[in-house]
Amino acid sequence: MRLNTLKPNKGAKHRKKRVGCGESSGRGKTSGKGHKGQKARSGGGTREGFEGGQMPIFRRLPKKGFNNAQFRTVYAVVNVSTLEERFDDGAIVNEAALREIGVVNGRYDGVKILGNGALSKKLTVEGAKVSATAREKIEKAGGSITAASEES
């Protein structure tokens, strides 16, 4: 197989429907929109959920329940393998250091270090939650963990 012989599967590609290109094209004149009416107009049609003037179902049904999602705690997840790649031996790992090197971006309530991958460097982890496997790997490599590291 060569790059110049690659092509999409049969039926995977379709021609764009070109409407309004003369009556003999089969899609001319009204261009498949019928005659007059709201749906024939440019930008015409009804909004989502419109039921022809009848009271829509989303207004007929009662609003019920509570969603706790807005109060959840969101952690930036960092694997031990990432720490191995990005940090030097003896480095201090905290949220500020992770943001500085671009591992953590955006709004988070904290950082959690997980045990995916191998670690051979001696690192000092500060102010981050640490999983049990990550704790084991960090301590086995000779590193230490301080504060806010309760497992969950």
pLDDT tens-digit profile of 94-116?
999 999 999 999 999 999 999 99
Pairing of strands 124-126, 75-79: unpaired
Cβ within 8 Å of residue 134, ≥6 positions away: 80, 113, 114, 115
Two tokens, residue 38: 């709201």
74-146 carries CATH number 3.100.10.10: yes
Q: How far is CA 105 from the centre of its chain?
A: 13
Averaged pLDDT score across all residues of the chain:
92
Question: pTM of this prediction?
Answer: 0.56
At residue 147, the pLDDT reads: 73
DSSP characters over 18-84: --SS-GGGSS-TTTTS-SSSGGGSTT-S--TT--TTSPPHHHHSPP-----GGG---EEEEEHHHHH
At residue 149, the pLDDT reads: 44
pLDDT digits over 67-93, tens only?
898 899 999 999 999 999 999 999 999
- Name the residue type at position 57: I
